[in-house]
Structure 1
Amino acid sequence: MDISAEGSDAAAERGEEYLTLDALCEIAKLLTGASDPIAHMPAVFGVLASFMGLKHGALALLQEGAPGESSRNARHINPYVVAATASGGPVSADCRAIPAQAARHVFRNGVSLVSCDIVDEFGADALPPGLEDKYQALIAVPIRDQANSPFVLGVLCAYRGLRDNGARFLDTDLRVLNMVAAVLEQSIRFRRLVARDRDRIVQEAREAIRAAAEATSAAPAELPAAELDGVIGSSAAIQRVIGQIRKVAGTHTPVLLRGESGTGKEVFARALHALSDRRDRPFIKVNCAALSQSLLESELFGHEKGSFTGAVQQKKGRFELADGGTLFLDEIGEISLEFQAKLLRILQEGEFERVGGSRTLKVDVRLVTATNKDLERAVANGTFRADLYFRICVVPIVLPPLRERKEDIGPLAQGLLERFNKRNGMKKRLHPSAISALAECNFPGNVRELENCIARVAALSPESVIHADDLACHHDHCLSADLWRLQTGGASPVGGLAQGPLELPVLGSRPPAPAAPEGAAAPPASPARPAPLDSEAAEREALIEAMERAGWVQAKAARLRGMTPRQIGYALRKHNIRVEKF
């Protein structure tokens, strides 16, 4: 007996087991938490090829529709599409990435298929393009719908070369593909549920907004805008918002106030509370961007005595203080993913524990949130939880920027000046020329910037009457004009939704690039590296940048990227990046 040969065979088997575990670990990292798992499938196929030798992977999915309907039709037509391949995707079903007979067999029967003679069973056309060696085995496994176990959502397949005793890997290949299919099933089902919930909520929000607009147009003179708790304006844009506020105020539905910075989101939140049946209960506000995650948790949920250094006594959180009333969370788009999970529980169950406490508390709070960020894009990018988005964005109300309601600038300026006079014991007033000059400004900072402008000119004006010549814009000292000149296309010095119109992109899709103004000259070429076109290109560019910063030392680049040297080595091979030698 050759003991050394047995030892080498055992070592080889252990090495193959480790490669299989490494492959599953890398695949889990790619798929878990991905907002669009289908977009990561080419990278998954790359891992299977690099670690296990499984080539020409492909993923076929049933077309959108009811699972039962799609599965019944699968016996008569070809309802699936090839959603991803090792080289990209999606492609048409007749691209030969997966044999049509094999795909139909798995879709119909819901069992895995292993074919060691593809040409004999399915014909020469069953081999994928570019695969010259016909000695290949096909492994195809079903991706099931756990809610309806007889139904199959998709088929995952890959090819194994049979030369050099490749058939001995088929059992392991089948187990690995079944594991990947199980992870994919969860991701695909969640993706479809998110898409359906998104469409439903968007449709409900549109219907609520349309009903509010109809109610406002039917009775436009029911109550003047000035009586809506400090809201000043009579433009059509602000009247639409007031109609929506009136419509939803009598319900307990969560409201998300959208708008650029300075559009008065807190004013409208207070108006919403004043019109509701909770008007006699507390209105509590929290600026989420002004507090760190640990402080925000203590502020919202409270803490017990001794729960951390400095907690010398028990403190009630804002949720407790707002019990029976309204809680206004401003800048909701700035909270971290970790805190989003904690916030989600109280929104779902209405219960929480104080920091350092074990007693569960229940509260009844009407939640009003506000943000100037594009939350839909944040959900698509994975920086904002989709389930939390659907909880807070039940009725979104978009507040118009001041430049879209310029007829309100005059009354607003008068009201802000009266407030300034009351606070400072003055009797300043605006000349009509000053009001006309203010109405010509774009005010990228909106009402907040107008308030600053009024306070500045009222404080510096030598006379009791403020004329147009007293305004900063007549002396080339206007910050508003400077900011507006800097705002071009999708770039804005103000940030947030001031960058452009609010759009609702499909989850997992990339936002379209802003179009250049008609007749404008093309921008000069930048010496910097051009922006990547997709996530794969972005990852490759980031990897090259890290390697250049590290002097092409993989260990240093791994520390910069928060990866291990082995992961860096795999990423370099995956993106075909040649390592510079010095």
Structure 2
Amino acid sequence: MNEAVSTETTSGRLKRGRTEAMQAGPPRDRLALDAIYEIARTFATAPDPIDVVPSILNVLSSFLDLRHAVLALLAEPGAQPVPGVVNPYTIAATAFARDADAPPSDVLPDAVARIVFRSGVPLVSFDVAEEFGPEAVPPRLRGEGQTLVAVPLRDPEQSHFVLGILCAYRSHADAQAGMSDLDVRVLTMVASLLEQALRFRRRIARDRERALEDTRRMLQSATERRPSEIPISLEGIIGDSPAIVDVIAQVKRVAGTNTPVLLRGESGTGKELFARAVHSQSERHRGPFIRVNCAALSETLLESELFGHEKGAFTGAMALKKGRFELADGGTLFLDEIGEISPTFQTKLLRVLQEGEFERVGGTKTVKVDTRIVAATNRDLEDAVARGEFRADLYFRICVVPIVLPPLRDRKGDIRPLAQLFLDQFNDQNGTNVRFADDAFETICKCNFPGNVRELENCVSRAAALSDGEIVLGGELACNQGSCLSAELWRLQEGASPIGGLAVGRVVTPSIRRPERPASPEQVEPADTFPRRKTANTAREELIAAMEEAGWVQAKAARLLGMTPRQVAYALQKHGIEVRRI
């Protein structure tokens, strides 16, 4: 079926609808453009595009009066087969509350679904009851004539394969009921935006799985080595727990290559120490090891620090200055807190990581360097990529070999030797001979240490400095005196580290999935099935009451109604409400 379906009996209504639509309200093309803008902006910031589809459908209702919109997707492979059904589909999202156990035909006629899935072209039914029978009209829409517009949603990887349907209804009482060409174009554009969002999320998920699989193979290869070949220590790294031994094995294995390494872990796990270990174990150990804290410098200063600048490039540039990339030529450059750099500087950094060349600030000469990159972050970069806060191409460039450093609570066997090391360092620096009693060591070993090794060092130094004698007893520790702030933060956050980043215990895995539904409508109130806000269809009286409460300030009224200022403006215009000037 290659063209939209129509009937002879609706021709008069189509002509009357076009005339009425041209006489009232703002131009539909402008409303459609505003709707597409709102929808594109929503998709651009959504971690999972399917989760925001209900909001998208509400935008269609608010701007274009396309009501009762529905997104249907083919059932997942491996799902329970439905007898007698060739292409079983499920309702992934709706613009209204719906019983999860209700059949899909309650909101989307089966005949319409079959036609669109098989033909792959848009379908317009100007009178659903007349063309497909009264039983095809969804129960919630019976009693008045309905026009249905349905467009296909194609697989981003295989454009000929239809994986879903996006449809909406328009009542015959609507003045726009006879003007479906624009409705088809708008729904087609929304479907295209959704396809691109799904493609981007799917690509991130696939590349992340590939990186994880490479890491698993590397770890498996490392653990299959003979015990005598597995290192149990590196210079400056203390501990023999299984977690730290695995990390050391990874460091020893990748150090001999020039592959970029991304050290991931909570704050205080010793990322700089492991970065130095990667450098010292590599063939570049005779070269320089240069460190840059990306979070400590502004974007302008960071560019000058990394790339250098020419004399006179800006006020205060009295002489030529080499950047950190040049200083690290033939060695290793450690980019600490790389997850904190701005999106603008991410683009500048990407070129030097890909090509190994750059220009100094204020210069035109291209400088080539041979520098190995070791980056570190405590942020969830996958979540940042999904939210558009971190470039995906830069993520894949730096996250070639990710090494996750375990938190101290996962290597409790290393706490005592680390505490003794820090105590010995304190004694050497201060000329003291402080020792810990056994109960003090037992107390320390029971702590979770959300600040990890850094917090352990501070805890030992504080206890040694405040001790009345040469022996620190367990009762003298801050946690036994109710003055340990970290313990209180840990308790208030119910076991989630107060530091943030990866320490919060939530790692977003980009995926393509349908939103979870309650097993029965009794478990969740219908209004909470999808978070929705009021639209331009808000009742006239409610809109006037909100405007009066807000002193006729549209932005404030929008916050009261859970709408956008743009929606409030359209609602005022739709109801013919004149804005009062106070």
State the TM-score, normalized to the length of structure 1: 0.76
* Structure 1 counterpart of 2:124: 114
Paired AA for residue 531 in structure 2: E
Query: 1:326-377, CA deviations, whole angstroms, 9 ceiling, x for partnerless residues?
Result: 2222223333444444444544554544444555555444332223334444
Partners of 1:65 and 1:307 lie apart in 2 by: 59
Contact 2:146 2:171 in 1 (8 A): yes
Distance 2:480 2:137 in 1: 75
Query: 2:379 matched to which residue of 1?
Result: 373
Count how many residue pairs are aligned between Structure 1 and Structure 2. 530
Task: Tell which deviates more after alignment, 383-392 or 294-303.
Answer: 383-392
- Bigger shift: 410-419 or 183-192? 410-419
CA contact (8 A) 1:80 1:93 kept: no
Q: Would you say the 8 A contact 2:198–2:512 is kept in 1?
A: no
Deviation at 1:441, TM superposition (A): 4.4
Q: Cα distance 1:378–1:190, how it changes in 2: closer, same or farther (>3 A)?
A: closer
Q: Tell me how far 1:53 sits from its aligned partner.
A: 2.0
Cα distance, 1:101–1:221 mapped onto 2, change above 3 Å:
same
Structure 1 residues 442 and 82: alpha-carbon distance in aligned structure 2, compared to 1, 3 A threshold: closer
Q: 2:227 aligns with which of 219, 232, 245?
A: 219
- Residue matched to 1:522: none
Aligned match of 1:295: 301
Which amino acid counterpart does residue 392 of structure 1 have in structure 2? I
Unaligned runs of 5+ in 2: 1-17, 517-526, 536-545, 574-581
Give the Å deviation of 1:132.
Answer: 2.0
Distance 1:395 1:254 in 2: 7
Deviates more, 1:406-415 or 1:337-346: 337-346
SS at match of 1:253: coil
Structure scoring higher RCO (CA < 8 A, sep ≥ 6) equals 2
Distance in 2, matches of 1:280 and 1:539, equals 65
Matched residue type, 1:428: N
Q: Distance between the aligned counterparts of 2:534 and 2:239, measured in 1?
A: 48
Check the 8 A contact 2:20/2:175 in 1, yes or no. no
Q: Secondary structure at the match of 2:179?
A: helix
**Could you tell me how far apart the structure 2 residues matched to 1:62 and 1:183 are?**
18
Aligned to 2:251: 245
How far did 1:135 drift? 2.4
Letter in 2 for 1:151: F
Q: Residues 136-215 of structure 1 correspond to what in structure 2 (within 5 A)?
A: 136-145=146-155, 148-163=158-173, 166-215=176-225
Please state how far the C-alpha of 1:244 moved relative to its aligned partner.
2.0
Listed one character per residue, the Cα deviations across residues 128-160 of structure 1 (whole Å, up to 9, x for unaligned) are 331124522222222345654433343222222
State the SS of the aligned residue for 1:138: strand
Alignment check: 8 A CA contact 2:450 2:490 kept: no
Alpha-carbon distance in structure 1 between the residues aligned to 2:528 and 2:362:
46
Q: How far off is 1:504 after superposition?
A: 5.3
How far apart, CA to CA, are the structure 2 residues paired with 1:143 and 1:511?
Answer: 18
The whole-number CA distance in structure 1 between the counterparts of 2:249 and 2:343 is 34
**3-state SS of the aligned residue for 1:142?**
strand
How far apart in 1 are the matches of 2:515 and 2:108?
31
Q: Distance in 2 between matches of 1:493 and 1:549?
A: 40
Q: Which residue is 1:523 aligned to?
A: none
* Closer, same or farther: CA 148–456 of 1 in aligned 2, 3 Å: closer
Q: Deviations over 1:393-449 (max 9, x none)?
A: 44333323334333323332343344445555x363635646555445443332223
Return the alpha-carbon distance in structure 2 between the equivalents of residues 109 and 287 of structure 1: 56
Q: Name the aligned partner's letter for residue 58 of structure 2.
A: G
Aligned 8 A contact 2:434 2:472 in 1: no
CA contact (8 A) 2:295 2:341 kept: yes
Letter in 2 for 1:78: N
Q: Which moved more, 1:169-178 or 1:369-378?
A: 369-378
Quick one: distance in 1 between partners of 2:180 and 2:241?
71
Once residues 508 and 296 of structure 1 are traced to their aligned partners in structure 2, the CA distance between those partners, rounded to angstroms, is: 37
2:28 aligned partner? 16
Distance 1:152 1:167 in 2: 27
Paired residues for 1:404-423 under 5 Å: 404-423=410-429
CA displacement at 1:266 relative to structure 2: 0.8
* Amino acid in structure 2 at the alignment position of 1:565: P
Residue aligning to 1:231: 237
- What is the correspondence of 1:213-362 to structure 2 with a 5 Å cutoff? 213-215=223-225, 218-219=226-227, 222-225=230-233, 228-357=234-363, 361-362=367-368
> In structure 2, what is the equivalent of residue 42 of structure 1?
54
* Displacement of 1:271: 0.6
Change (3 A) 1:16 1:166: closer
1:452-467 to structure 2, matched below 5 A, reads 452-456=458-462, 466-467=471-472
Determine the C-alpha separation between the residues in 2 that align with 1:343 and 1:282.
20
In 2, Cα distance between equivalents of 1:126 and 1:61 = 19
Distance 1:414 1:381, change over 3 A: same
Deviation for aligned residue 1:10 = 5.8
Is contact 2:547-2:553 (8 Å) kept?
A: yes
Distance verdict in 2 for CA 1:283–1:55, change over 3 Å: same
The 1:164/1:36 distance shift into structure 2, 3 A limit, reads closer
User: Are 1:476 and 2:481 matched, yes or no?
Assistant: yes
Q: Is the 8 A contact 2:201 2:512 kept in 1?
A: no
Aligned to 1:518: none
2:96 corresponding residue in structure 1 = 87
Q: 2:521 aligns to what?
A: none
CA distance in 2, matches of 1:427, 1:303: 48
Change (3 A) 1:42 1:291: same
For 1:535 and 1:358, how far apart are their aligned partners in 2? 54
Deviation string for 1:254-277 (max 9, x for gaps)?
333233322211111111121122
Deviations 1:221-259 (A, max 9, x none): 75441xx12101122222122122222222333333233
Instruction: Pick from 51, 61, 71 the counterpart of residue 59 of structure 1.
Output: 71
- Provide the C-alpha distance between the structure 2 equivalents of 1:9 and 1:444, rounded to a whole number of angstroms: 63
Instruction: Tell me, in whole angstroms, the C-alpha distance in 2 between the residues paired with 1:244 and 1:342.
Output: 30
Which residue identity lines up with residue 430 of structure 1 in the other structure? R
SS at match of 2:87: coil
Q: What one-letter code is carried by the residue in structure 1 that aligns with 2:90?
A: V
Matched, 1:97 2:107: yes
Q: For residue 169 of structure 1, give the secondary structure of its aligned residue in structure 2.
A: coil
Aligned residues of 2:260 and 2:374 also touching (Cα < 8 A): yes
How far apart, CA to CA, are the structure 1 residues paired with 2:223 and 2:549?
56
Which of 388, 392, 402 is the matching residue for 1:396? 402
* Partner Cα separation in structure 1 for residue 416 and residue 486 of structure 2: 18
Q: Contact between 2:72 and 2:165, CA under 8 Å: does it hold in 1?
A: yes
SS at match of 2:257: coil
Q: CA deviation at 1:192?
A: 1.9
Bigger shift: residues 37-46 or 481-490? 481-490
**Residue among 54, 78, 82 paired with 2:87:** 78
Residue 527 of structure 1: aligned partner: none
**Given that residues 505 and 511 in structure 1 are in contact (C-alpha distance below 8 angstroms), is that contact kept between their aligned partners in structure 2?**
no
32-41 or 486-495: bigger deviation: 486-495
Please tell me whether residue 428 in structure 1 is matched to residue 405 in structure 2: no
CA–CA distance in structure 2, aligned partners of residues 547 and 198 of structure 1: 49
Which residue of structure 1 lines up, in the alignment, with residue 13 of structure 2? Answer: none
Question: Do structure 1's residue 489 and structure 2's residue 501 form an aligned pair?
Answer: no
2: CA distance, partners of 1:533 / 1:35? 20
Query: How far, CA to CA, are the matches of 1:409 and 1:567 in structure 2?
Result: 58
How big is the shift at 1:176?
1.7
Kindly provide the amino acid, as one letter, of the partner of residue 219 in structure 1: P
Q: Quick one: distance in 2 between partners of 1:337 and 1:422?
A: 45
CA–CA separation in structure 2 for the residues paired with 1:353 and 1:335: 19
Matched, 1:28 2:40: yes
Whole-Å Cα distance in 2 between the matches of residues 258 and 557 of structure 1? 45
Between the aligned partners of 2:509 and 2:531, the Cα distance in structure 1 is 20
Distance 1:328 1:46 in 2: 47
Identify the residue that residue 536 of structure 1 maps to in structure 2: 531
Q: Which residue of 2 aligns with 1:578?
A: none
